Amino acid sequence: MRFIDLLLKKRNGDKLDPKEIEFLVREYVAGKIPDYQMSAFLMAIYFNSLDHEETAWLTESMAASGDTLDLSRIDGFKVDKHSSGGVGDTVSLILVPLVATTGLKIGKLSGRGLGHTGGTIDKLESIPGFQVDLSNEDFLSAIEKEGLSIMEHTEELVPADQKLYELRDLTGTVESLPLIISSIMSKKIACGPDGVVLDIKTGKGAFIKDLDRAVELARGCVDIGEEVGLNVSALITDMNQPLGRAVGNALEVEQAIKVLKGEAKGDLRKVTINLTAELLLQSPKAASLEEGLEIAEEKLSSGEALGKFRTMVENQGGNPEIIDDTNLLPRSEGKVEIGAPSSDYVTELDALEIGKAANILGAGRSKKGEEIDPAVGIELNKKLGEEVQNGEPIAWLHYNDRRQLEEAKHVVKDAFMFSESPLEKPSLIKKRLR
């Protein structure tokens, strides 16, 4: 079998078979297919796509390209969650301990962020002492004993995805839906759960901005899960404005703690409860979505989820005192207020612009390995549909470097639009697929 023959086959729009796709993945991971050739193949997929069967074969070959996690020693129903990412998306920090209170077992492998702010791992590392670099044994042991753990994605798990993801980013092929589906689902399959819930964001601050395309992505993932015997459901959720009111690593940890304490309501809490309910419905724990929502609401309101969060922080070496005193989290040297220009209603809050402003302040990274500042970010006082008085704070910027402050302030101001008439708030959960 020769690479060039398979490249020409896909370039011409013909269908590949399972052995051909397995060959491509195996040889690329082994370093026998150079990046310049695989780049051409990714571009052929971008223009000619893959059908459902080809996408499934690619997903399974990628999942088998390295180590897998064996969860068989862990009793009970094991679950996982994936988000397509967005601005202020702190769901995992709340959902993981919440799910663990219901009797489900959840182990989440997460990554570091590129773009607006850090990823889940960066956010957790803003907790003093928190360890994300666990061995597989420590990770599995924590799930077995306490029902939860979050650790950094290892290089040994699905190496095909790690190599292809970096190459896609460099070749302009990131937006190919078959490549996105195989990236998401290969990692979930390799982690070995019984059920998975997907949070697919759509809107200005999302990777997938078009609703129909987000639905297509979610449907592809759900169908692949069904083919390999993995229970998958998905919610399409709004990302036209930031989720929650904090954008920045330590700020988002603080917000997650407020939600777990019952001190913060709103869209972040609602999305988390609905995603948890989906996992409960997949399991024997809930017979209906309504029952799943009731269980999730009760566990969060009772403080049990906060207790599980404390357990996870302690187990992974973090300082649990940050829960009672969030001032122990990294704090910026300065904080500046942005006031409303008039007495009106907020009619637009561009999530992408808020994310850009957070990145300017140093909350995110532009390239892999770049350092981020865990203390900086943006705190939102007003969101879509809310009334504001002239001069009232609409946001606060937390900064450590004044050189970036003025640019970030302008970006935040431009992210807001106002009107004399109130706006009907967009629906938060746009579609549900299973």
Residue 116 has pLDDT above 80, yes or no: no
Domain co-membership, 243 together with 310 = yes
Give Cα separations from 234 to 160, 174, 336, 389 (angstroms).
Answer: 24, 21, 38, 39
104-114 mean pLDDT: 87
For the chain, how far is it from start to end, CA to CA, in angstroms?
Answer: 38
Name the 3-class secondary structure at 351. helix
Contact 146, 135 (CB under 8 A): no
Which one of 271, 304, 322 terminates a domain?
A: 322
**What's the chain's average pLDDT?**
95
Burial of 102 (0-12, 13-18, 19+ CB in 10 A): buried
Residues 33 and 128 in one domain: no
> Residue 197's pLDDT is what?
98
% of residues, the chain, pLDDT over 70: 99
pLDDT at 165: 87
**For the segment 146-175, what is each residue's pLDDT rounded down to a tens digit?**
999 999 988 899 999 989 988 998 898 988
Which position has the higher pLDDT, 115 or 362?
362
Q: Of residues 78, 105, 153, 187, which has the active-site annotation?
A: 187
Do 165 and 253 sit in the same domain of this protein? yes
Question: Is 153 assigned a catalytic role?
Answer: no
Q: Is 187 annotated as catalytic?
A: yes
What does the alpha-carbon distance between residue 67 and residue 60 come to, in Å, rounded to a whole number? 13
Let me know if residue 427 belongs to a domain. no
Query: 114 pLDDT exceeds 80?
Result: no
Q: Could you report the per-residue pLDDT of 3-30, keeping only the tens digit for each?
A: 999 999 999 999 999 999 999 999 999 9
pLDDT of 366 reads 74
On whether both 105 and 186 belong to a single domain, the answer is yes
Domain identity same for 351 and 269: no
Instruction: Choose, from 10, 81, 168, 245, the residue flagged as catalytic.
Output: 168
Same domain for 151 and 254? yes
- 289 and 311 assigned to the same domain: yes
Tell me if residue 82 is catalytic.
yes
Q: Is residue 57 part of a domain?
A: no
Range of the domain at 104: 78-322
For 193-225, write each residue's pLDDT tens digit: 999 999 999 999 998 999 999 999 999 999 999
pLDDT(368) > 80: no
- Residues 347, 381 share a domain: yes
Confidence (pLDDT) at 407: 97
Global pTM? 0.94
3-state helix/strand/coil string of 94-156: HHHHHHHHCCCEEEEEECCCCCCCCCHHHHHHCCCCCCCCCCHHHHHHHHHHHCEEEEECCCC
Name the helix (H) or strand (E) containing 428: none
- Number of residues in the chain: 434
Q: Of 160-174, 275-289, 342-356, 382-396, give the lowest mean pLDDT range.
A: 160-174
CA distance 149 to 155: 18
Please tell me the predicted confidence (pLDDT) of residue 111: 84
Asked if residue 100 and residue 32 are part of one domain, the reply reads no
Please state whether beta strands 377-380 and 246-247 pair in parallel, antiparallel, or not at all (unpaired).
antiparallel
Q: If we measure between CA atoms, which residue out of 170, 234, 227 comes closest to residue 208?
A: 234
Dist. CA 248–CA 159, nearest whole Å: 29
pLDDT exceeds 70 at position 115: no
> What phi and psi values does residue 404 have, to the nearest 5 degrees?
-95, -5
The rounded distance, in Å, linking the Cα atoms of 233 and 279 is: 8
72 occurs within a structural domain: no
Instruction: Considering the candidates 80, 161, 199, 350, report the single residue annotated as catalytic.
Output: 161
Q: Which of 84, 126, 149, 183 is catalytic?
A: 183
Q: How many domains does the chain have?
A: 3
Alpha-helix residue ranges (DSSP H) falling in 152-237? 159-171, 177-191, 211-227
Whether residue 225 is found in the same domain as residue 116: yes
Supply the pLDDT for residue 367: 72
- Among this protein's residues, is 5 annotated catalytic? no
Please answer whether residues 352 and 205 qualify as being in contact, where contact means their C-beta atoms are separated by less than 8 angstroms: yes
Position 272 in a domain? yes
32 and 90 together in one domain: no
Q: CA 98, 262, 131, 169: dihedral to nearest 10 degrees?
A: 80
* Residue 426 within a domain: no
Tens digits of per-residue pLDDT, 299-333?
999 999 999 999 999 999 999 999 999 999 999 99
Q: What dihedral do alpha carbons 151, 214, 245, 121 form, nearest 10°?
A: 10
What CATH number did the domain enclosing 12 receive?
Answer: 1.20.970.10
Q: Is 310 within a domain?
A: yes
Could you tell me the pLDDT band of residue 82, with boundaries at 50, 70 and 90? very high
Residue 105 annotated to the active site: no
CB 193 within 8 A of CB 68: no
